[in-house]
A and B are shown apart, each in its own frame.
Chain A
Amino acid sequence: MNYEFRSVPRIVCEAGALHSVGKVLKDLGAQRVMLVCDPGIVSLGFAVKAQASLEVAGCAVTVFDQVVPDPSSAVVKEAAEQARQFKADGVLGLGGGSSLDAAKLVALLINSEQPLEELYGTDKALGQRVPLVLVPTTAGTGSEVTWVSVITDEQQRKQAVYSSQLMPDVAVLDPQLTLGLPPRVTAATGLDAMVHAIEAYTSRTRKNPIADGLASAALGLLSANLRKVLANGQDVAARTAMLQGSLMAGMAFVNASVAAIHGLAYPLGARFHIPHGHANALVMAPVLRFNLSAAQSQYAELATYLLPGRHFEHEAEAAEAFVQAIEVLVADSGLETRLSKLGVDEPALTEMANSVVVNLRRLIDSNPRDMTEQDVEALYRSIF
């Protein structure tokens, strides 16, 4: 019954909103802005548009376009150093989860004396970040509304920084930026967002009614629109709904926690560089089926959002229909569903299972059903 809920204070949603990000930053008091993105965003022409908007608003701009997937600590440090040299007093993150996570840390490091390594963990940041605006180009990670950044350290380990300082001032949703996403990315990121909503709703640790309201609304939007955007990537209304659903799922999970799906997905990303959304999609359906006995009533509640208008005689039927609908959705997504086809070797399954229960305990703790190391390994084997 006791909980805290943090939210980004402002959300702008509008087709073409990228053209007005300059004013948004200017209104926050920024004069010298670093744009943090990746080379893909530059080649799509988005970086130039953002830069033009900032310049029209009267801001000086420098661009750091070297973010890579699962960004390394070295990349973040390099960007922060360039931002300091430029005397940046504002940061614009534009891209997928990696660019947004990097932008958050840059905004924090600009005025901080702390080395990046000291920030790993929860609430370690002492400094005050500069104004920060985040514009996602996938729907997605929800990173634009979370206070978490995940990076890869020099030993190739994933490190997370949790700090209220990482919450941006404004999240800007512009569906135009997602129209060209390839179906594979659309599917992986869309399923990732659905996982956020589902795991937030069933979280055993920090489930709360605000997150519940957002998660259930998010799941409704995402499930009603994922097939539409896969069928027609240019469907602006459906792309908008996917971005909105992703944002709401992000607000939900950062306040309620994710669980075992993320737990099982992380080692797949860290060891085999399977993109985060795809990794979640791989383990999603088996984990839901594993959880069914413990989460039946919650899955039944979610069935009303995933399958609106369907009537169920009893809870067990609704919960089963929910899990089946997800299984079908993943199968129809076009994503590869076998680990062995994605470069995962069999001996790794045992090691990954151990790593999940040892290093990602907090995620297993949030799972509606407890999981032993044997359970995790069996789940990996079921999709090998």
Chain B
Amino acid sequence: MSTFNFETTPRVICEIDGALRLGTLCRELKAERVLLVSDPGLLRAGLLDAPLRALREAGVEATLYSDVQADPPSESVQDAVDAARNCRAQAVIGLGGGSSLDTAKLVALLCGREQALESIYGINLAQGPRLPLIQVPTTAGTGSEVTAVAIVTTPSHEKKGVVSPLLYPDIALLDARLTVGLPAAVSAMTGIDAMVHAIEAYTSAHKKNVLSDGLAMQALRLLAGNLDRVLATPGDLPARSDMLLGSMLAGMAFANSPVAAVHALAYPLGGHFHVPHGLSNALVLVPVLNFNRPAAEALYAQLAAAVLPGQRFASEALACDAFIEFMTRLVERMPFAQRLRDVGVTADDLDHLTDDAMKVERLLINNPRPVTRQDARAIYASVL
């Protein structure tokens, strides 16, 4: 598309042990008191000790909120906001997976300007200014550190999103050291999730643009080249670093060129069967690629150059084949469930899943090939 609007995080720092610089960065943002938003797992793993120490050594008064839960409930966001108010935080640091980063976004927003969380669900309803915000992802991953969306779960178990450019942080800090302890299954799921972001951004039907294309292509190159490496050698820092970077670039791409049918079909699996987001995406990825092929052959052929660098293909069709084949084999060798039945789905659930997937119209409209109800059901059935 030659007409586009592109928004992103103004500053990215990619540095091993960069989390030890958080104190200096807070000072640059003129904050002397900060709230660090994270989750109990990272606290137990001891990953918060060094960043907290670094903050305090820099003379920054750091208060820890480490009660973020997966798919953060709105009440827990409110708790975090209260914690920030109580310590009179002048800045917010999100350190963790997508849930911690999403919570941190909302804390920075709600503490920067008095407004009710319920009143800002939707697009561009939030008002600024927000508090200064630094995001430090510990999975590679969601890309949440460079997206303008935060998702919460309401008391009635609905997922609600806040979408606003105010949610882009001041700084995204990528520190590969924080990701070396990720279990193989988590590395695999989040890695495939990031690849799905890049693929769907590159083939998005309406908002695809030269910047999102360039970023998605580079993201896929990095992710495809390093996912096997981090699974084989979890402590491989350069590979971990490239995964974080690939995930972030994919985030920058899909923040501006939105995801499509893979995500639409994945959401109901998370909602009904509590399948982790990355795994849900991985389960439906290959059948969606095969389904999209008639409409996306040329684009998938271009992506073959990213996942199979240096290879030549005699035709676009063969390049497209090679791309889908590469993704199929990659997903197959990942250490996680491969079929819907492995995560508790039965044939009786397919209609219900299909109904819910068809409701995610905001994403389905981005798919390169229109998806009918029958199509969606057939995709689920093919991986039952």
Known A-B contacts A1-B238, A217-B213; the reply to A11 vs B6 at CB < 8 A is yes
Q: Is the CB of B9 within 8 A of A9?
A: yes
Instruction: Return the contact of A213 from the options B14, B168, B214, B237 (Cβ within 8 A).
Output: B214
Q: Is the CB of B218 within 8 A of A213?
A: yes
Mark A1-35 against chain B: 1 for CB-CB distance below 8 A, else 0: 11111111111111100000000000000000000
A271 and B284 CA atoms in complex are apart in Å by 63
Instruction: Return the contact of B222 from the options A3, A14, A209 (Cβ within 8 A).
Output: A209
Q: Is the CB of A311 within 8 A of B312?
A: yes
Contacts of A213 on B, CB cut-off 8 Å? 214-215, 217-219, 221, 249
Q: Is the CB of B12 within 8 A of A5?
A: yes
Q: Is the CB of B7 within 8 A of A9?
A: yes
Contacts of A311 on B, CB cut-off 8 Å? 312
Contacts of B315 on A, CB cut-off 8 Å? none
Q: Max chain A CB contacts within 10 Å: which of B14, B18, B217?
A: B14
Q: Is the CB of A1 within 8 A of B16?
A: yes
Contacts of A217 on B, CB cut-off 8 Å? 210, 213-214, 217
Q: Is the CB of B6 within 8 A of A4?
A: no
Kindly provide the distance from the CB of A318 to the nearest chain B CB, expressed in whole angstroms: 11
A345 and B307 CA atoms in complex are apart in Å by 52
Q: Is the CB of A209 within 8 A of B242?
A: yes
Mark A277-290 against chain B: 1 for CB-CB distance below 8 A, else 0: 00000000000000
Count how many pairs of residues, one from A and one from B, have CB atoms less than 8 Å apart in the complex: 104
Q: Is the CB of B218 within 8 A of A210?
A: yes
A14 and B4 CA atoms in complex are apart in Å by 7
Contacts of A376 on B, CB cut-off 8 Å? none
Q: Is the CB of A14 within 8 A of B3?
A: yes
Contacts of A216 on B, CB cut-off 8 Å? 214, 218
Quick check: is B69 within 8 A (CB to CB) of the other chain?
Answer: no
Known A-B contacts A13-B2, A210-B249; the reply to A221 vs B14 at CB < 8 A is no
Q: Which of B1-31 contact A (CB under 8 A)?
A: 2-16, 18
Quick check: is A260 within 8 A (CB to CB) of the other chain?
Answer: no
Quick check: is A89 within 8 A (CB to CB) of the other chain?
Answer: no
Contacts of A164 on B, CB cut-off 8 Å? 11
Q: Which of A66-120 contact B (CB under 8 A)?
A: none
A6 and B11 CA atoms in complex are apart in Å by 4
Q: Is the CB of A11 within 8 A of B10?
A: no
Quick check: is B134 within 8 A (CB to CB) of the other chain?
Answer: no
Quick check: is A214 within 8 A (CB to CB) of the other chain?
Answer: yes
Q: Max chain B CB contacts within 10 Å: which of A5, A217, A311?
A: A5
Q: Which of B193-220 contact A (CB under 8 A)?
A: 209-211, 213-215, 217-219
Contacts of A214 on B, CB cut-off 8 Å? 211, 214-215, 218
Q: Max chain A CB contacts within 10 Å: which of B4, B7, B9, B210?
A: B210
Q: Is the CB of A12 within 8 A of B210?
A: no
- Taking CB as reference atom, which chain A residue is nearest B245? A209
Known A-B contacts A210-B245, A213-B249, A217-B217; the reply to A13 vs B3 at CB < 8 A is yes
- Taking CB as reference atom, which chain A residue is nearest B209? A13
Mark B273-284 against chain A: 1 for CB-CB distance below 8 A, else 0: 000000000000
A14 and B2 CA atoms in complex are apart in Å by 7
Quick check: is A208 within 8 A (CB to CB) of the other chain?
Answer: yes
Contacts of A202 on B, CB cut-off 8 Å? none
- Taking CB as reference atom, which chain B residue is nearest A221? B210
Q: Is the CB of B5 within 8 A of A5?
A: no
Quick check: is A149 within 8 A (CB to CB) of the other chain?
Answer: no
Known A-B contacts A217-B217, A248-B211; the reply to A7 vs B241 at CB < 8 A is no
A167 and B245 CA atoms in complex are apart in Å by 23
Mark A323-346 against chain B: 1 for CB-CB distance below 8 A, else 0: 000000000000000000000000
A6 and B10 CA atoms in complex are apart in Å by 5
Quick check: is A244 within 8 A (CB to CB) of the other chain?
Answer: yes
Instruction: Return the contact of A15 from the options B2, B249, B305 (Cβ within 8 A).
Output: B2
Kindly provide the distance from the CB of A249 to the nearest chain B CB, expressed in whole angstroms: 11
A12 and B7 CA atoms in complex are apart in Å by 9
Quick check: is A296 within 8 A (CB to CB) of the other chain?
Answer: no
Quick check: is B165 within 8 A (CB to CB) of the other chain?
Answer: yes
Contacts of B217 on A, CB cut-off 8 Å? 213, 217
13 A-B pairs in the complex with CB atoms less than 8 angstroms apart: A2-B18, A3-B13, A7-B9, A7-B11, A9-B10, A9-B168, A12-B5, A13-B2, A13-B3, A209-B242, A213-B249, A217-B213, A221-B210
**CB-CB nearest 4 A-B residue pairs:** A213-B218, A217-B214, A2-B15, A11-B6
Contacts A6-B12, A11-B6 known; list 13 others, CB within 8 Å.
A1-B238, A4-B12, A5-B12, A5-B14, A7-B9, A9-B9, A11-B5, A11-B211, A13-B5, A209-B249, A210-B12, A210-B218, A245-B210
